[in-house]
Structure 1
Amino acid sequence: MAPSGAVRHAAGSPGRAGVPVRAVTRTLSDDPLGGTVRRTVLPSGLRVLTEAIPAMRSVSFGIWVAVGSRDETGPQAGAAHFLEHLLFKGTKKRTAMQISAEIEAVGGETNAFTTKEYTCYYARVLDEDLPLAIDVMCDAVADSVLEPADVETERGVILEEIAMHDDEPGDEVHDLFARAVYGDHPLGRLISGTEETVTPMTRRQIQSFYRRRYTPPQIVIAAAGNLDHATVVKLVRQALRGTPLDTDPAGPAPHRAATPAVRTRLAATVVEPKETEQAHVILGCPGIDRTDERRFALGVLNNILGGGMSSRLFQEIRERRGLAYSVYSYASQYADSGLFAVYAGCAPGKVDEVLELTRVELRRVAADGVTADELARGKGMSKGSFVLGLEDTGSRMSRLAKGELLYGDLMPVDELLSRVDAVTLEDVNALAAELLSRPMSLAVVGPFEENAFAVSR
């Protein structure tokens, strides 16, 4: 086993100036709570990370692409999600049936998802079937043919998915809130696109998006479980050989070059009139981006305000007054922006009271801060949820990929726990005073008129 930080090189093809001509491998950590983490950068710029956990009998394998809905222009809205559907529909080597049947025949599972900043394709299989999973998944992501008939079939599927989403007001309200804060910026759009953008989208547009955006420097491959890193790298290179991702070395692609600067609105109210039995409301404001050093304090503050059954909002709104079944706060963080919000689902006639109690509690925490007992409880929740979330290979695979894709680094578990431990009462109270004093936006789905709610802090 190479010592931590060791660098090994494998032969590769010549490259341009400043670009590695050989695969470069480093051991990132030997984590006592997990296994050995290694990272290899191929000459093309594609990165492979693994965590070897010999005690497991399974492996989770994922291909992560630094492309999401915020990378689309207005007419392209929904292209990343459309493409996610299409990449399982067939390649030069396999039909859609073969892609799914080969994995299911060994008891494995595959899936994919699109977010605003990245797309993930993954499989979970027995350790002995990892070579198959690598071959199938790399084939699907790297060499899909995007048959015109499949484009039309999946267009219908996606339009049904959009319609289904519209029938879920508890989901729809989150998209309304993003629109309230970000307006027409890509972060304020639906990940799926809309009927107006998906219906006219052509195969040529999707194909162009695919080949321009799915390039090796934008891709991270991650795997966790009972595996050998060198074998995974070898299998990945074999699976990509002869595909569009088997390219000569090139400089890293500009990250989100087409994405406009984030603009947020000071305060806005968006109401979706809908005859529902329950009203769904979100009150919140712009937050902090994911690299902000205060993100650990924000996690603690979020736990205190609405992160569990012992949180202030849950106790005040549900336990003491019985005004809502579901009430919680959450934080979303992006490369250059973020959101902080409170959600509640309640009877339409109780919305005004729920909103007033929420505003009062947010103002109270902004002005008076939190207590030492709340700080300890909030830190314990952060640490516990993180460690408990590492109990399966899928979550460990995701941690590797997100660390590399979003931060360019993998923070060791012990360091992350130490960063949470280091959060002070002053840190949380200072953040609360700033964040919770910002103008608040409101999103509502329910049986109301569009002008039923005035913008309020």
Structure 2
Amino acid sequence: MNGAAPLPLDLPELVIGEGAEGLVRRTILPSGIRILTEHIPGARSATVGFWLAVGSRDELGAEGGAPSHYGSTHFLEHLLFKGTPRRSALDIAVAFDAVGGEHNAITAKEYTCYYAKVRDRDLSMAVDVLADMVAASTLDPDEFETERGVILEELAMAEDDPGDVAGERLFEAVLGEHPLGRPIGGTPATIRAVGRDAVWEHYRATYSPHDLVVAVAGAVEHDVLVERVEKALRASGWDLSGSASPAARRPTAAAAIVPGAPVTVVRKPLEQVSLMLGMPGLVATDDRRVALSVLSSVLGGGMSSRLFQEVRERRGLAYSVYSFAQGYSDAGLFSLYAGCAPGRERAVSDIMLGELRRIAADGITPDELVRARGQLSGAAALALEDTDTRMSRLGRSELSTGEFVDLDEQVRRLEAVTLDDVRSIAVTLAEGSVSVSAVGPIDEAVFDDVVVAR
């Protein structure tokens, strides 16, 4: 395939191309359901995902006397495994365990995905069960209360992980009151407060045919799958007789972000400080995101990265140190992380910001650019050995970016990144406001003059 393949929402049938990676096809049913497949020759398994473009950012707050939906998206991820009129929770679990399959779900800030990986002979079963879960979950009141306790335990487990706590606080700090700043799983307060009726309302409002994307990669025949998906959803009660356009993708114009608190410290009696520095990043569709991935690779993407070499190898100030970027439809975040001993957090933060600012001032070297291209293209190629990754690529492409990019195009875009491109994005980040999130036995005063004025 040469170049990215657009995924227009008004084209019922689309064949993207057949190359070394396999054949990619998409069908949009009259009901608005989108079905994408990537047939991989020689594969003996398949990964199937049922995607909904609803995430934690889409939950409604309590307004005008209406109940709050905060926490509903994560609640649904749990509850859809708890039974339908045709299957109990045990039936769902047994269906996959009996064939050695894997099944799970992901709640994110802008989407939810229910997925399974099975042998080729068991793909029809996986489609049937996932369709039943998505279309006909009962949200049983007793199961609801049981699962409330399970989710609270999950949140408690995350609260005991200082890295998770620092990450949640960083999103709140960088993105402020924007819905993307809210935690994906909700908070103990929102999970305790949300009622079954509110979650049911959220379910009925956001799980409908025109919201659904089904993606399958591996041993799959497209036409057979399309027929199976329709049959399974009809059997589970969805009316597919009407005509509807697929749900529009989210607007991609960058939102005006007002950051939250510049410094957030959660004091805990730990042996190590989890330290994160963050700043506004790029939206998921920004053309500069490839240059940003190169910058992140050079700065904190591996053992040869500047942060690893300077913070760990030369100074011995941390065991784990890295950078990462997250892009969403209308906002993004770039972050630097290190875990260090109490008393070293200020020195580490100065070094991390100093390395970013040094790239903004002087750029990266040609050797670093070549190494980053090789690291990113190699990692992408290795990831595509797994049908899970290929299925996720289909789902994210359809829901988020509106274009399918194969490995050849990824490599071409990486090769097009220049030294000036990387330096330019580093300047943009370095000139932005910086937020600090830290968990451990420290005081906020340590970071008094680290944060850029807002």
TM-score, normalisation: structure 1 = 0.92
- Residue 376 of structure 1 is matched in structure 2 by 370
- Residue 29 of structure 1 is matched in structure 2 by 17
Aligned residues: 436
Q: Note if contact 1:85-1:154 (Cα within 8 Å) is conserved in structure 2.
A: yes
The aligned runs of 1:287-302 (5 Å cut-off) are 287-302=281-296
Alpha-carbon distance in 2 for matches of 1:85, 1:31: 38
Aligned equivalent of 1:387, options 366, 373, 381: 381
Alpha-carbon distance in 2 for matches of 1:197, 1:266: 20
Alpha-carbon distance in 2 for matches of 1:256, 1:412: 22
The aligned runs of 1:129-144 (5 Å cut-off) are 129-144=122-137
Alpha-carbon distance in 2 for matches of 1:276, 1:399: 38
The aligned runs of 1:4-153 (5 Å cut-off) are 24-32=12-20, 34-74=21-61, 75-153=68-146
1:221 equivalenced with 2:214 (yes/no):
yes
The aligned runs of 1:303-452 (5 Å cut-off) are 303-452=297-446
Report the more deviating stretch, 276-285 or 242-251: 242-251
- Residue 13 of structure 1 is matched in structure 2 by none
The aligned runs of 1:159-238 (5 Å cut-off) are 159-238=152-231
Deviations 1:83-121 (A, max 9, x none): 010001000110000011011111111100101011110
Cα distance, 1:31 vs structure 2: 2.5
Amino acid at match of 1:217: H
Alpha-carbon distance in 1 for matches of 2:177, 2:421: 33
1:272 equivalenced with 2:266 (yes/no):
yes
- Residue 64 of structure 2 is matched in structure 1 by none
Q: 1:255 to 1:36 in 2, by over 3 A?
A: closer
Alpha-carbon distance in 2 for matches of 1:309, 1:246: 53
Alpha-carbon distance in 2 for matches of 1:450, 1:403: 41
Alpha-carbon distance in 2 for matches of 1:255, 1:72: 17
Cα distance, 1:450 vs structure 2: 4.6
Alpha-carbon distance in 2 for matches of 1:230, 1:204: 38
Alpha-carbon distance in 1 for matches of 2:16, 2:356: 41
Alpha-carbon distance in 2 for matches of 1:303, 1:452: 28
Report the more deviating stretch, 187-196 or 85-94: 187-196
Deviations 1:297-317 (A, max 9, x none): 001011000000000010000
Amino acid at match of 1:56: A
Amino acid at match of 1:238: K
Amino acid at match of 1:194: T
**Structure 2 alignment gaps of length 5 or more:** 62-67
Q: Note if contact 2:71-2:186 (Cα within 8 Å) is conserved in structure 1.
A: yes
- Residue 65 of structure 2 is matched in structure 1 by none
What's the Cα RMSD here?
1.9
Cα distance, 1:357 vs structure 2: 1.1
Report the more deviating stretch, 228-237 or 404-413: 404-413
Percent identical across equivalent pairs?
51
Cα distance, 1:25 vs structure 2: 2.4
**Structure 1 alignment gaps of length 5 or more:** 6-18
Amino acid at match of 1:63: F
Q: Secondary structure at the match of 1:121?
A: strand
1:240 equivalenced with 2:233 (yes/no):
yes
Cα distance, 1:197 vs structure 2: 0.9
- Residue 456 of structure 1 is matched in structure 2 by 451
Amino acid at match of 2:219: N
Report the more deviating stretch, 420-429 or 316-325: 420-429
Q: Secondary structure at the match of 1:54?
A: coil
Cα distance, 1:425 vs structure 2: 1.0
Q: Note if contact 1:366-1:436 (Cα within 8 Å) is conserved in structure 2.
A: yes
TM-score, normalisation: structure 2 = 0.92
